[in-house]
Amino acid sequence: MRNSASTVEAAVRSVQLQTIRNWELIVIDDGSSDHSSAIVQGVGDERIQLVRQHRSSGLASRLNQAVALSRGEFIARMDADDICFPERLLCQIGRLREEPQIDLLGCGAVVFTSGGELVGEMPIGLTHEKIVERPFVGFPFPHPTWCGRAAWFRSHPYDSRPIYAEDQDLLLRSHRDSRFAGIGTVLLGYRQDRLKLRKLLPGRMSLIESSWQYGCRTRQMFPALAGIANHVIKGAVDIATIGFGMNRSMQRKRLKPISQLTAARWSAVANELNLSGS
Q: What is the pLDDT of residues 57-91, one digit of tens each?
A: 999 999 999 999 999 999 999 999 999 999 999 99
Going by pLDDT thresholds of 50, 70 and 90, the confidence category of residue 277 is very low
Task: Assess if residue 213 is contained within a domain.
Answer: yes
Is the pLDDT reported for residue 219 higher than 80? yes
Contact 122, 255 (CB under 8 A): yes
Mean pLDDT of the 143-168 span? 97
Q: What is the pLDDT of residues 93-113, one digit of tens each?
A: 999 999 999 999 999 999 999
Task: Assess if residue 251 is contained within a domain.
Answer: yes
Say which CATH number the domain at 252 has: 3.90.550.10
Q: Shortest CA distance to 139 belongs to which of 100, 165, 121, 103?
A: 165
Give the number of domains in the chain: 1
Radius of gyration of the chain (CA): 18
Task: Give the mean pLDDT of the chain.
Answer: 95
Task: Assess if residue 99 is contained within a domain.
Answer: yes
Share of the chain above pLDDT 90, in %: 89
* pLDDT score at 276: 65
pTM for this predicted structure? 0.94
Task: Assess if residue 2 is contained within a domain.
Answer: no
Is the pLDDT reported for residue 225 higher than 50? yes
Q: What is the pLDDT of residues 2-33, one digit of tens each?
A: 999 999 999 999 999 999 999 999 999 999 99
* pLDDT score at 178: 98
Phi, psi angle pair for 53, to nearest 5°: -120, 130
Is the pLDDT reported for residue 278 higher than 70? no
Sign of the Cα pseudo-torsion (134, 139, 141, 146, in order): positive
Widest Cα–Cα separation across the chain: 54
Rounded to 5°, angle at Cα 193 from 188 and 197: 115
Going by pLDDT thresholds of 50, 70 and 90, the confidence category of residue 269 is very high
* pLDDT score at 247: 82
Task: Assess if residue 225 is contained within a domain.
Answer: yes
* pLDDT score at 97: 98
CA distance linking residue 65 with residue 154, whole number of Å: 10
Q: Shortest CA distance to 81 belongs to which of 53, 114, 106, 56?
A: 114
Task: Assess if residue 97 is contained within a domain.
Answer: yes
Question: Which residues on adjacent β-strands are paired with residue 109?
Answer: 188
Mean pLDDT of the 177-202 span? 95
Task: Assess if residue 19 is contained within a domain.
Answer: yes
Task: Assess if residue 1 is contained within a domain.
Answer: no
Give me the domain span that covers residue 154.
8-272
Is the pLDDT reported for residue 221 higher than 90? yes
Strands 25-30 vs 104-112: parallel, antiparallel or unpaired: unpaired
